[in-house]
Structure 1
Amino acid sequence: MNRQARTFTSGVMKSSDCDILIVPGHTNSGADHWQSRWERQLSTARRIEQENWDAPARNDWIERIARDVKRAKQPVVLVGHSLGVVAIAHAAPLLPKGKVQGAFLVGLPDVERPDFIPAIDRAFAPISRDPLPFPSVLVASRTDPHCDYDKAEDVAYSWGSAIVDAGDAGHINTDSGHGPWPEGLMRFAGFLKQL
């Protein structure tokens, strides 16, 4: 099947031109996680705080994302990891049209898998397959214990997202050695320049 990745050519955006909203997954991203590091490094980045990180409630998470996007003062770029990626896809139809300039998505979890642990994340299933109404990239690993690469690739194509093969990178989190993750930050900067 011949599928083509989406390309972005609308302009050049810098991190100071947008509100970068960090959307962690289940249990939040700890202090050494690349999302937390980016939040500290990037002056316009802030975390979307969820009411309960340990027992995620789908509707609450989606509403919190929509609320924070609406409150943002500048155009928004979303940075999601793990369950945050799925939550962004579910929230997309509720976001103000044109407010989100792009989404950098990392480590999609296959919450549709029957053996997926933790079971509470399955409340986020099925994964929305509607095209995202903004440019996006999905970074996926060939060795992610939470999602097969082929599944991530299939979901990326349904969203209209460019897919990035991260190779042997686990879940692209602190446990897989991705605390600082300088390659990811460089790729994120490149993504911003395409917006």
Structure 2
Amino acid sequence: MNNSDSPTVVIVPGLRDHVADHWQTLLAEKLDKVVTVAPLEHDKLSLSARVAALDHVLSEVSGPVVLVAHSAGVMITVHWAALHDRPVQGALLAAPPDFSTPLPEGYPAREDLDSNGWNPTPLQPLPFPSTVVASHNDPLASYERVVELAEAWGSKLVDAGNVGHLNPASGFGYWPQAEELVEDLIRETAVLG
């Protein structure tokens, strides 16, 4: 992905923001053209603040963009797509959470998510090609719910097996498939463009 015509990869982290040993951080270190949405200083649980932060990053990128979102970053991405029409070449959406159900201890309560604008989840087709990665044992969403989301968004579904929430707590640090999926998405969507 060293080509000057290659898209800029925009990393959209979840609510935990930048984590040094997270696969998104490790992937960003391997890419030439990459920008990460910076952590918020205030209103960390505000969906509108997070959508605005993503839109700000995208407004500063020239040329094609591929989004790489994880967890709540997927929800930020789909809410952003429902509100904005900037061109996006494609998106990798890994381990989307189900914010319509109670989350495990240590995560925001449903009431807090509701009051900060996270629900309901947009269920219209995304205006760009996307790949959703689903886990069979994700504590933040059932496999069946992620399949429903992928279908609603018009996304290609990748069954990752039993990978938990695809985060360091689930044993992912480095996730070799991430780079392959991004490269596949870039190659497949370049043909469309």
Q: TM-score, normalised by structure 1?
A: 0.86
Alignment of 1:1-195 (within 5 A): 17-52=6-41, 55-97=44-86, 99-115=87-103, 117-119=107-109, 120-122=112-114, 123=116, 124-195=118-189
More displaced 10-residue stretch of structure 1: 164-173 or 119-128: 119-128
Q: 1:160 to 1:53 in 2, by over 3 A?
A: farther
Report Cα offsets for 1:22-46 as digits up to 9, x if no partner.
Answer: 0000111311111001111101111
Tell me by how many angstroms 1:52 deviates: 4.0
Distance between the aligned counterparts of 1:20 and 1:177, measured in 2?
24
Q: 1:15 to 1:152 in 2, by over 3 A?
A: farther
Q: TM-score, normalised by structure 2?
A: 0.87
Distance between the aligned counterparts of 2:113 and 2:172, measured in 1?
22
CA contact (8 A) 2:18 2:39 kept: no
CA contact (8 A) 1:23 1:85 kept: yes
* Runs of 4+ residues deviating >4 angstroms: 13-16
Report Cα offsets for 1:125-151 as digits up to 9, x if no partner.
Answer: 111101110000100100000000000
Q: 1:121 to 1:27 in 2, by over 3 A?
A: farther
Structure of greater relative contact order (alpha carbons < 8 Å, 6+ residues apart): 1
Question: Which runs of 5 or more structure 2 residues have no equivalent in the other structure?
Answer: none
Give the match's secondary structure for 1:168.
coil
Tell me by how many angstroms 1:170 deviates: 0.2
Distance between the aligned counterparts of 2:179 and 2:154, measured in 1?
22
Tell me by how many angstroms 1:102 deviates: 0.5
Taking only aligned residues, the RMSD between alpha carbons, in angstroms, comes to 2.2
The amino acid of 1:103's aligned partner reads A
CA contact (8 A) 1:105 1:137 kept: yes
Tell me by how many angstroms 1:172 deviates: 0.5
